[in-house]
Structure 1
Amino acid sequence: MNNGYFSYPMPANEPVLQYAPGSPERAALKKALAELKKKQIDVPMYIGSKLVKTGNKLPMNPPHEINHTLGYFHVGEEKHVRLAIDAALRAKEAWSNMSWESRAHIFLKAADLLATKYRPYINACTMLGQSKNAYQAEIDSACELIDFLRFNVYFLTEIYKQQPISSPGMHNRTEWRSLEGFVLAVTPFNFTAIAGNLPSSAAMCGNVVVWKPANSQVYSAQMIMRVFREAGLPDGVINLIYVDGPSVGNVCFSHPDFAGVHFTGSTGVFNHMWKTIGENIPRYKGYPRIVGETGGKDFVLAHKSADVDALVTALSRGAFEYQGQKCSAASRAYIPSNIAEEVKEKLIAQIKTMKMGSVEDFSNFVNAVIDEKSFDKIKGYIDNLKGDRKAKILVGGRCDKTEGYFIEPTVIEAKDPRYITMCEEIFGPVLTLHVYDADRYEEILEVIDSTSPYALTGAVLSQDRAAIELASNKLRHSAGNFYINDKPTGAVVGQQPFGGGRASGTNDKAGSMINLYRWLSARTVKETFNPPTDYKYPFLQEA
């Protein structure tokens, strides 16, 4: 029997450890890296209570050290998708009926495990498997994932508290139900936190989940699953499978119990999902929830009053942290003519100090891009600049995949603000800047707003308040996360809920209540204490 209303106050954001020389966290992380590299692991799929091994295995290789093998994961096929759905649906009734405090404590315990026992391991998995340096892994796989788990418990508690008013003689209440069916979570390679949040946020609301991570993120995904299981997550609530996208879609999107998809990935894939779901609407018990965060072509706009050093740092960090493989990464910059030469000079100088190499060398700011396909795509953009009079490389441009998929931080200057690298998503360490007439600020706002179909993040740097206000208004729909005098990356859970519009997704704001509403279905219940016993209203009486 539930004899209390349990309170989950707003948490504080998880402190970011700095991994300075001599610090205990640095020693623990170095130890975890060495430990993980010494052994090859055999990663099963997690379907219900079973650890499924198919024998069809793919290797996991660090992008920065492609000749080393961290282990292998077992690849599934369509039948494993069906098995995962069946396992989820079997678990659904018990899970959705479990008391909120019991569900909440599973995820709070998972957060605590990540903050303590598993912190060096989740970071080391992310560093080795996804080629992130220590700091980028810390803010992602430790801090952000911990924050997602803790803040979502708080947000969901606040949602459950929202109740209607009641008139005399009756009582109204709202039940925040889980969706009817299962949720598909499709997660990307670039953020371990996203990989953990997409399935867990839906599950926290009482839903059951089929989780398909990117193949290049399985190494850290399996660690997340191990943490969830140790925290007490019942079998079948989240089912982790490694099956190709088309096979997952064929099974899930044709299933009558499909209730929704929680997705982060490319715009093209999301568009195809939406079309397929739409065509299959008659199959489903209800209208599925479709939540997606997709691409970006994120901008940095400098006004003629911008602080040069702040601008250069925003560009360096915003464009080249994690090799530009963030949906929010600065990809196009608009620099006013009055400060352009100073900005270029200082930006080039900063980039030349950036070391590139293995994640195990903590002095490296830049590591490898995720895989050969990504490497070849980015290199193609760089190679196409040769002989092109419309643009030139200011710094970087060298690419080498002998030992790992290394691409130098590259800055391109484009004469045309609609040059191809100003418009298309590259998803790598490539920043294109355009110098505009410092006295034509309002005109460049129009260019920024109309250049890209995406609208994820953007930044304006200025010391002129009127210029900031003008940009905020003119670029209102150009970015779902808008930054003033800062880089366009680094959203923090509870502080800057994340998501964009236009071709960047449904803007359902991970890290806020907005996202959780999508995984709930309200039922209003009215109870009348003294029901009427006659159909006649007073107005029917004779005068």
Structure 2
Amino acid sequence: MGRAGQIFKFFAGEALRVGGEIVPSVRPGLTLEVTREPLGVIGLITPWNFPIAIPAWKIAAALAYGNCVVIKPAELVPGSVWELVRIVAESGAPAGVINLVMGTGSIVGETLVTSADVDAISFTGSVATGQAIAAKCVATGKKFQFEMGGKNPMVVLDDADLDVAVEACINGAFYSTGQRCTASSRLIVTGGIHDRFVEAMQARRRSLRIGNALDAATQIGPVVDAKQLEQDERYIELARTEGGSVFGGGRATSATEGFFLAPALVTNTTSTMTINREEVFGPIASVIKVAHYEEALAVANDSPFGLSAGICTTSLAYASHFKRHIQAGMVMINTPTAGVDYHVPFGGRKGSSLGPREQGTYAREFYTTVKTAYIAPGNV
């Protein structure tokens, strides 16, 4: 809720910062004006893992730039968006400006995507669904913005501060039960620090408190539902079958009802294993041992995704080189790959994102269209 409030406050200011340009013409007597206008009606399709924040950063941006909104939340978490839309509506939004529809993706989502009355689609969800929606948007001439999967690497070099590296990886891999598109699911570690890092990760992993997400002392809450729990367990078993050594990952008990899974660390993996190629979306991280920085960078870039990436190092030279050469939309230095600010662009490259960035001032690239006017003096 706090993040949603920050997002709306930021975009309230953005509504007054939609400027334009007056540009000299190459032809005598002409003046050029470049302005931005709203797109029209925006269809928003949001996921279950951030049920307030993601709808907030889509709704707030769309409204700030003058659009109307039709939002379809994930079926698992409609209540959060219901309350958010209610608050916006009761705060004075004109009738019809913000609209909530609920139902399955195959029916309600399909209607949004194919409707001639919807001018653009902003979607956050799986790669397969995003690609299918993109094809339909192209066919119907809709502008689109998609945030999809991630298989985010965290590189740990020999010169890293071990405590900093372990805490960054524990946070990035396991907090929020690993149910973040920016989670650190691939830990790429150089040989000189590998064994100490794995030992420290194991000790820290075993100390994590699993339980009721509403308890302030809890560090790892439940998996979202039975289907996701079964998916997590399939990936753990597949990692074991392909030769990985799995530590943790068993079902956990709690005083509250829910689908609880102990965080899993998978060692002795290679970059070609399924656990390092596909997004799991659970509290599971794999360790890939490499010889040196150059190999670490190559392995980090060897992925169909490119959302977030991190490096733990005390070397300014390595940090600077990594920032420039990693194929990701967001780069973290000595800090978790998950956890972003609301006033700067969010998004990736390759299979992680399609279309303009979300959040910050860059959101205007999606939610507005550009108009160029040529003005001659005459009788105007």
Same fold (TM over 0.5): yes
Change (3 A) 1:407 1:161: same
Change (3 A) 1:522 1:497: closer
SS at match of 1:470: helix
SS at match of 1:407: coil
Pick one of 338, 345, 367 that aligns with 1:497. 345
The match for 1:524 is 372
> What is the CA deviation profile of residues 292-328 of structure 1, one whole-angstrom value per residue up to 9, with x for unaligned ones?
1110000100111111110000011111110011110
Q: Which amino acid in structure 2 is aligned with residue 521 of structure 1?
A: T
CA distance in 2, matches of 1:389, 1:271: 29
Contact conserved, 2:243 with 2:268, CA < 8 A, in 1?
yes
Contact conserved, 1:152 with 1:511, CA < 8 A, in 2?
no
What is the CA distance between 1:232 and its match in structure 2? 1.1
CA distance in 1, matches of 2:345, 2:175: 20
The match for 1:20 is none
- The alignment status of 1:216 with 2:76, answered yes or no, reads yes
What is the CA distance between 1:356 and its match in structure 2? 0.8
CA distance in 2, matches of 1:442, 1:482: 17
What is the CA distance between 1:142 and its match in structure 2? 1.4
Q: Which amino acid in structure 2 is aligned with residue 482 of structure 1?
A: V
The match for 1:512 is 360
Contact conserved, 2:42 with 2:69, CA < 8 A, in 1?
yes
CA distance in 2, matches of 1:456, 1:199: 22
- Trace 1:18-33 onto structure 2 (pairs within 5 A): none
SS at match of 1:399: coil
Structure 2 unaligned residues grouped into runs of 5+:
none
Moved over 4 A (4+): 166-172
SS at match of 2:22: coil
CA distance in 1, matches of 2:239, 2:33: 63
Q: Which amino acid in structure 2 is aligned with residue 165 of structure 1?
A: V
Pick one of 250, 254, 258 that aligns with 2:118. 258
CA distance in 2, matches of 1:352, 1:165: 62
- The alignment status of 1:320 with 2:171, answered yes or no, reads no
What is the CA distance between 1:444 and its match in structure 2? 2.8
Pick one of 204, 208, 214 that aligns with 1:350. 204
What is the CA distance between 1:249 and its match in structure 2? 4.1
Q: Which amino acid in structure 1 is aligned with residue 57 of structure 2?
A: N
Asked which structure has the greater RCO (Cα within 8 Å, sep 6+), the reply is 2
Change (3 A) 1:211 1:441: same
> What is the CA deviation profile of residues 446-486 of structure 1, one whole-angstrom value per residue up to 9, with x for unaligned ones?
12212x211000001111222223323331xx210001111
Pick one of 331, 334, 350 that aligns with 1:485. 334
Pick one of 223, 244, 250 that aligns with 1:391. 244
CA distance in 2, matches of 1:373, 1:220: 21
Contact conserved, 2:113 with 2:121, CA < 8 A, in 1?
no
Number of matched residues? 375
The match for 2:135 is 275
CA distance in 1, matches of 2:34, 2:191: 58
Q: Which amino acid in structure 1 is aligned with residue 46 of structure 2?
A: T
CA distance in 2, matches of 1:262, 1:415: 36
Q: Which amino acid in structure 2 is aligned with residue 485 of structure 1?
A: N
SS at match of 2:16: helix
Structure 1 unaligned residues grouped into runs of 5+:
1-140, 282-286, 533-543
The match for 1:381 is 235
- The alignment status of 1:301 with 2:155, answered yes or no, reads yes
Change (3 A) 1:364 1:250: closer
Change (3 A) 1:384 1:521: closer
What is the CA distance between 1:526 and its match in structure 2? 4.1
Q: Which amino acid in structure 2 is aligned with residue 392 of structure 1?
A: S
> What is the CA deviation profile of residues 63-90 of structure 1, one whole-angstrom value per residue up to 9, with x for unaligned ones?
xxxxxxxxxxxxxxxxxxxxxxxxxxxx
The match for 2:46 is 187
* Larger mean Cα displacement after TM superposition, 211-220 or 145-154: 145-154
TM-score (norm 2): 0.92
Pick one of 13, 20, 30 that aligns with 1:162. 20
Pick one of 247, 250, 265 that aligns with 2:107. 247
The match for 1:288 is 142
Q: Which amino acid in structure 2 is aligned with residue 335 of structure 1?
A: V
Larger Rg: 1
Q: Which amino acid in structure 2 is aligned with residue 297 of structure 1?
A: K
What is the CA distance between 1:343 and its match in structure 2? 1.1
RMSD: 2.2
The match for 1:148 is 7
The match for 2:269 is 415
- The alignment status of 1:471 with 2:329, answered yes or no, reads no
What is the CA distance between 1:253 and its match in structure 2? 3.3
SS at match of 1:199: helix
The match for 2:85 is 225
Contact conserved, 2:37 with 2:371, CA < 8 A, in 1?
yes
What is the CA distance between 1:207 and its match in structure 2? 1.4
CA distance in 2, matches of 1:389, 1:277: 38
Contact conserved, 2:20 with 2:36, CA < 8 A, in 1?
no
What is the CA distance between 1:522 and its match in structure 2? 2.8
TM-score (norm 1): 0.65
What is the CA distance between 1:201 and its match in structure 2? 1.5
Contact conserved, 1:399 with 1:407, CA < 8 A, in 2?
yes
The match for 2:258 is 404
The match for 1:15 is none
- Taking only the aligned residue pairs, the percentage that are identical comes to 26
- The alignment status of 1:433 with 2:287, answered yes or no, reads yes
> What is the CA deviation profile of residues 106-136 of structure 1, one whole-angstrom value per residue up to 9, with x for unaligned ones?
xxxxxxxxxxxxxxxxxxxxxxxxxxxxxxx
CA distance in 2, matches of 1:474, 1:166: 38
Change (3 A) 1:277 1:390: same
> What is the CA deviation profile of residues 258-304 of structure 1, one whole-angstrom value per residue up to 9, with x for unaligned ones?
2100111111111001112223x3xxxxx421101110000100111
